[in-house]
Structure 1
Amino acid sequence: RDQPPGRREAEGSLPENVRVVVDTPLRDALRDCDVFVGHGGAGGILAALAQGLPMLLVPQLPDHAGHSGRAVATGAASVLGAAGLTPEDLRDEVTRLLDAPEPGLAAAELCEEMAARPAPAEVAGALTELTPSLARG
């Protein structure tokens, strides 16, 4: 889809290897990625883990810090603080994530665990089957 008017100008000059996408589901954009860089929101973390991607998280809000801390505890992510963060800091940490095998292995393991769990529709179906027995209580 075309970008909104003025969007390209607001982004400035981008390198040749940068592609801007608009209104693309994150899961689709992540299929071609080797690492996820995000703010630590639950949706981004889950989308990255569903693809088995190691993550660099830069929390912006208190809930982001909580989600990021849990991701770090799994070994699949690292966190940088936003204050004073430079592009070089980001590049160096992404390089470290890509060079070290552990974050990718942890992310792949979580991806497998997530894939083995029942889909939300399956859980909802099982809950509807329980409703009659709960009502008799």
Structure 2
Amino acid sequence: MTKVVGQKSVEEARSPRPEVLLGHPAVVQAAINGLGFKRRYSLCTLSFAASEICVEAFNRGNSGVRGAVAVAITAFLEFTYAGIPVSSRPPVLVSTHTHTGRLEINITLPRFVIDGGGAVRSFNPNPPGDGSRWGSDQLGDALTKHFD
């Protein structure tokens, strides 16, 4: 994989390779590209310490570890889209990085929802203000407790 570090392109081999857990990259990219908004997507990373999630078990497909990760992803998405019907939510992309020895879940969120009339409306999944920060902190606390 080629990535830019500073002003220089650097080749980086990630082993294991990132894994897509949810969504389809082309579908999410098309949804983002179709938006006329200034801010078309948001990104989020849920990062777990090596002591919270066993990366080796996750990469082997351990159902208990995978199930716990699925709970974290579902909790995040339900918090983010609270009150918005699933049919009105945009397609999202959820992928992982484990090459660093810990689990990182990367979530790409197109910044729109579909209103009751079928129109595309701009949506900020993390609006500014204390309420959003408080809610995010509560979700983080709940996930930390879940992962002990």
TM above 0.5, one fold?
no
Structure with more of its chain in helix, by fraction: 1
Per residue, is there more strand in 1 or in 2? 2
Q: Which has the larger radius of gyration?
A: 1
Give me the TM-score of the superposition, normalised by structure 1.
0.31
TM-score by length of 2: 0.29
Q: Which has the higher contact order (CA 8 A, sep 6+)?
A: 2
